[in-house]
Amino acid sequence: MQDLTREITLEFVRVTEAAALKASRWMGKGNKEAADQAAVDAMRGMLDLLAIRGRVIIGEGEKDEAPMLYIGERVGGGGIYDPEVDIAVDPLDGTSLTAKGLPNALSVMAAGNAGTIKSFPTFYVDKIAVGPGAKGQIDINAPVEENLKRVALAYACHINELTVVILERPRHGDLIEKVRRSGARCKLISDGDISGAISTSIEDSGVDLLLGIGGAPEGVLAAAALRCLGGEIQVKMFARDEAEKKRIAEAGYSDLEQVYCTEDLAKGDSIIFAATGVTGGDFLPGVRFSGHTAITHSVVMRARTRTVRYIKAIHHLDTKTIPSRGQQREVEI
């Protein structure tokens, strides 16, 4: 983004704020599809206002399956002097969390110069992530016990003082047992592993390590945040079946054992990451409605300077509207 990042950075917060505000109206109502669609529509409408020539690298899916924010979609104002930008979005990371009123749902986006954001031909990747204090000490190919020893050594603590975030899934039964046998503590989460990965790099979060298989898009978005925070993530593609292995091969990938590091997923110093809390949790408070106002809490980061800004915004609902791409008009929150 040349050095327009300084000007564009805060604009991205407006995008995640809009998505969070709209999604939060569905909190606890049991309809994750409606919550997700509300977030997508608001995010798409706000992206239309940005002075960029953006291309969605990570979005809601392929064009035939996603009406908006599909992979390859062009977003932004598109002026001839506007910068070419890669966009990665998750309008609502934690659709089930939002539907159930559970913590740690976020609206998330990342951006960088064209060619800086990685995408995978798989739905899932195996992940390991740590904060700055353990950067350079982990190895996704090493046994779980070895990685725990390395992280404990980096933090000058005992293994039983470490807390490991893992998605609570049947596929992680073995992994969870190994972590527990080692003496470390498990923090099992139902969804929202972007927040889980980022929490390894947030002081006083109480999280030291993220392990396990999770969404590939979420892995890349987490990498963008960790580039800005000084943390580290390593991933390997995970194929669920033979059909997916074939798809990977057809996409030109021959080695499922190849390790991709933070810099492979989010390259260079043009990376920007923004997120707004939807339901609140370890990383950010959620949206709070009070009378005719709504309060949002967001974070925006730049890899170039490693500046991290936390932003509390008070939105006056009597006057605030959000552009809706689906309805082709401004809509109330």
Per-chain mean pLDDT for the chain: 92
pLDDT at 1: 45
Q: Do 150 and 96 belong to one domain?
A: no
Q: Give the pLDDT confidence of 161-212 residue by residue, as tens digits.
A: 999 999 999 999 999 999 999 999 999 999 989 999 999 999 889 999 999 9
| Domain end point (choices 217, 246, 265) | 265
Structure tokens belonging to residue 92: 């609502």
pLDDT band of residue 63 (cuts 50, 70, 90) is low
Residue 147: closest CA among 167, 126, 168: 126
Residue 296: closest CA among 39, 48, 77: 39
Q: Do 146 and 49 belong to one domain?
A: no
Ranked by mean pLDDT, the top range of 74-83, 97-106, 240-249 is 97-106
CA gap 157, 292 in Å, rounded: 48
Residues 6+ apart with CB under 8 A from 117: 57, 58, 86, 87, 88, 110, 111, 220, 224, 265, 266, 267, 271
Q: Do 258 and 274 belong to one domain?
A: no
pLDDT at 7: 63
Bridge-partner residues for 37, per DSSP? Answer: none
Model confidence at 120: pLDDT above 70? yes
pLDDT at 113: 94
| Domain end point (choices 210, 231, 265) | 265
Q: What is the pTM of this model?
A: 0.93
Model confidence at 150: pLDDT above 90? yes
Higher pLDDT, 130 or 1: 130
To which residue do tokens 């054992």 refer?
257
Enclosing domain of residue 248: 124-265
> In one letter, which amino acid is 69?
L
Model confidence at 6: pLDDT above 70? no
Beta strands 124-130 and 209-215 are antiparallel
CA gap 322, 26 in Å, rounded: 16
CA gap 187, 167 in Å, rounded: 8
Q: Do 152 and 253 belong to one domain?
A: yes
Higher pLDDT, 306 or 65: 306
Q: Do 182 and 67 belong to one domain?
A: no
What's the CATH code of the domain at 319? 3.30.540.10
Structure tokens belonging to residue 332: 């109330």
Long-range pairs, 31-37, Cβ under 8 A, ≥24: 31/99, 32/95, 32/96, 32/98, 32/99, 33/95, 35/92, 35/95, 35/98, 35/99, 36/91, 36/92, 36/95, 37/326
| Domain end point (choices 265, 295, 313) | 265
Total of domains in the chain? 2
Q: Do 10 and 130 belong to one domain?
A: no
CA 68 to chain centre: 18
Model confidence at 116: pLDDT above 80? yes
Q: Do 277 and 242 belong to one domain?
A: no
pLDDT at 219: 97
